[in-house]
A and B are shown apart, each in its own frame.
Chain A
C-alpha cells in the first residue's frame, strides 16, 4: 500500500513520534507504514487521514499488481 504520509508530515511539520502519538501508535509503527513494511488497519488509516484533514484515499493508494 503506497502512501504520502511522509510528505504530509513534512507539510504539517509533524515528526513520526508526534503523528504516532496523535493516532495512538508508536513512532516505529508510523515508520513501518511510511516505508510500506506494514499495511495499516482500516482504523489506523482513517485516523492518519483524519489528522491531515483528508479522505483516506487521498493518503493511501493501492499498489497496482
Chain B
C-alpha cells in the first residue's frame, strides 16, 4: 500500500465525513425548526447523500493508486462484502413478510457495506500476505 495514497485517502475521508456530519445535523435542525413544503423537505432529506457519493470517488481514486496485488485484494473484498450484504438484505426482505421489522432497514445498507468491507478486507489480506 503506497503511503502517499493512504495519506491522501485518509485526509479526504476525514474531510468528507466532517461535511457529511455537518450536512446531516443541519438538515435535521432545519427540518425540525421550519415548516417547509414537501418538495423542499424531500430535497433536504437527500442532501446527506451528496457527501456519500463523493466517498465513492475518493475510494476509486485510492483504488487506482494501488499496485496490482492490492487492487486484486480490494476487488475480492468488494465482491465478498457486496455478496454478504446483498444476501443479508435479501433475507431481511423475505423476513419482512413474516416478522414486521422496526425502523427503516434501508438506511443501514450502505454503512453495512462499509463495515463488512472493513472486516472482510483483513481476511483477504491475510490470504495473500501470509
Contacts and interface: CB of A to CB of B under 8 A. Distances in A.
Interface of B: 1-2, 67-70, 72, 127-129
B64 to A, nearest CB: 14
Interface of A: 24-26, 28-29, 31-33, 37-38, 40-41, 44
A62 B70 CA distance: 23
A44 B70 CA distance: 14
A29 B67 contact: yes
A40 B127 CA distance: 16
Given A26-B69, A28-B128, A38-B128, 8 more contacts: A25-B69, A26-B1, A26-B70, A28-B69, A29-B68, A29-B69, A33-B69, A37-B127
B10 to A, nearest CB: 18
B70 A29 contact: yes
Contacts of B2: 26
B121 to A, nearest CB: 14
Contacts of B128: 28, 32, 37-38
